[in-house]
């Protein structure tokens, strides 16, 4: 039936049109829903509570208030989504250094004690200690470059307490002290570093630094400040007694300060040392001579009326002489001269001499040595005359011997006091 067929076709066409319209409506609704969801998600990102992990403030009482609900900060803070656009390599680097941010903040604000406490905690948590150590040393270097030496030394001192094997840090601290002219602290650090040095290279480096610092410390002390010089080498011996050269240097300054007994004590310790023993023994002999120069030594006399007789030694022979300060030469009786083994071939000169018995011929000789006790004179001239009568003595002690010394006679106690001239 044509009418019926046309009606059916029209109904089918209307259904198809309705279906197409519905599909468009669904697509439109999905689009609207997508846009709405996008806005919702955007709002969610903005409104998510923001937790900002802040580094410690530069000032203890200064804090910025952060809202836990709206992310508003009192001072302008820009929060970017850089993590969304970050290069993968940048993300790795950021993850590696991020744990050290608190340490860097503490160091940069000079809160050294807190920084070291943070380091200790970080070490307990098995953190990246090498990176943290590098960061601390880097901060020390920055302070040195800014000539903030005291600040750099303070940080290193705190750090070293937590580094039982920190060789490089200890060397750096000693270097800073030396730059400041603080030689005792520098040497203290270097001596305490000895147990830390674990290789031959480190031990050699340490020895060189100690030697350099000792020279600088000695040079810094004025040469006329003998007390300070003595104090320096006493300090060095106290901390490194194995270095025998310190004993020699200490003894030298003690001698200059006339502390002879103290110098002898130091030299006795090292007089058989294979390195400085010969020097020590030479110094001991010199000190003994110096002691005689400084000390006035009494010699016993025998009274003969108004004169005094003293025991002398001439060429290792004991001879008694009468002290005669008016005689320019020491004079011997011919019999005493024979004891010395003097021969006619040894005569230097024949001369006339005034004696108590009048003018007489005298023979002039030169003998190897003459001494009163420990006071000796080498290569000294004497005159020899026949039958010299001098109150039981074998000759006269003249001024050519006594002029080498400061002397005085204590007549009441019958003593001759001698002292080497300065």
- pLDDT at position 71 is 40
Q: Is the pLDDT of residue 387 over 80?
A: yes
Best CATH choice for the domain 99-220 from the list 1.25.40.10, 1.10.3210.10, 1.10.1060.10, 3.30.70.2190: 1.25.40.10
pLDDT, one tens digit per residue, over 301-359 is 999 989 999 999 999 999 999 999 999 999 999 989 988 988 888 999 999 988 777 78
Does the pLDDT value for residue 66 go beyond 50?
no
Q: Distance from CA of residue 134 to its chain's centroid?
A: 26
Over residues 85-129, the pLDDT tens digits come to 434 434 334 444 588 999 999 999 999 999 999 999 999 999 899
Among residues 94, 102, 53, the alpha carbon closest in space to that of 73 is found at 53
Say what the pTM is. 0.56
Query: Which 3 state secondary structure label does DSSP give 73?
Result: strand
Provide the pLDDT for residue 83: 36
pLDDT in tens, 181-232: 999 999 999 999 999 999 999 999 999 999 999 999 999 999 999 999 999 9
- β-partners of residue 372 are 375
Which CATH number is 297-420's, of 2.60.120.10, 1.10.3720.10, 3.90.1280.10, 2.40.70.10? 2.40.70.10
């Amino acid at each position: 039936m044509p009418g019926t067929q046309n009606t059916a076709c029209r109904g089918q066409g209307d259904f198809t049109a309705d279906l197409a319209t519905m599909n468009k409506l669904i697509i439109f609704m999905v689009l609207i829903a997508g846009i709405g969801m996008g806005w919702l998600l955007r709002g969610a990102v903005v409104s998510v509570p923001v937790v900002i992990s802040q580094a410690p403030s530069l000032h203890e009482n200064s804090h910025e208030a952060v809202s836990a609900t709206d992310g508003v900060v009192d001072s302008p803070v820009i929060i970017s989504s850089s993590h969304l656009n970050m290069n993968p390599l940048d993300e790795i680097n950021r993850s590696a250094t991020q744990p050290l941010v608190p340490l860097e903040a503490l160091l940069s604000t000079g809160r050294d004690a807190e920084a070291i406490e943070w380091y200790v905690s970080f070490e307990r948590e098995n953190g990246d200690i090498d990176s943290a150590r590098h960061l601390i040393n880097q901060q020390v270097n920055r302070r040195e470059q800014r000539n903030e030496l005291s600040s750099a030394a303070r940080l290193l001192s705190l750090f070293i307490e937590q580094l039982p094997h920190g060789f490089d840090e200890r060397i750096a601290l000693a270097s800073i002290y030396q730059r400041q002219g603080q030689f005792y602290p520098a040497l203290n650090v270097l001596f305490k570093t000895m147990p830390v040095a674990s290789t031959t290279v480190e031990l050699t480096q340490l020895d060189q630094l100690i030697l350099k610092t000792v020279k600088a410390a000695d040079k810094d002390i004025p040469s006329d400040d003998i007390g300070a010089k003595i104090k320096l080498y006493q300090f060095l011996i106290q901390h490194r007694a194995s270095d025998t050269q310190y004993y020699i240097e200490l003894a030298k300054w003690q001698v200059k300060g006339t502390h002879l007994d103290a110098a002898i004590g130091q030299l006795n310790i090292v007089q058989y040392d294979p390195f400085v023993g010969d020097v020590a023994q030479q110094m001991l002999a010199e000190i003994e001579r110096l002691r005689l120069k400084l000390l006035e030594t009494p010699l016993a006399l025998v009274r003969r009326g108004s004169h005094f007789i003293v025991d002398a030694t001439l060429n290792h022979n004991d001879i008694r002489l009468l002290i005669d300060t008016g005689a320019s030469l020491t004079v011997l009786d011919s019999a005493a001269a024979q004891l010395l083994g003097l021969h006619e071939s040894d005569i230097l000169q024949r001369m006339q001499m005034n004696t108590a018995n009048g003018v007489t011929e005298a023979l002039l000789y030169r003998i190897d040595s003459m001494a009163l006790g420990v006071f000796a004179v080498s290569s000294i001239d004497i005159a020899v005359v026949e039958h010299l009568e001098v109150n039981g003595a074998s000759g006269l002690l003249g001024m050519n011997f006594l002029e080498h010394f400061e002397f005085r006679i204590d007549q009441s106690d019958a003593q001759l006091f001698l002292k080497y001239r300065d």
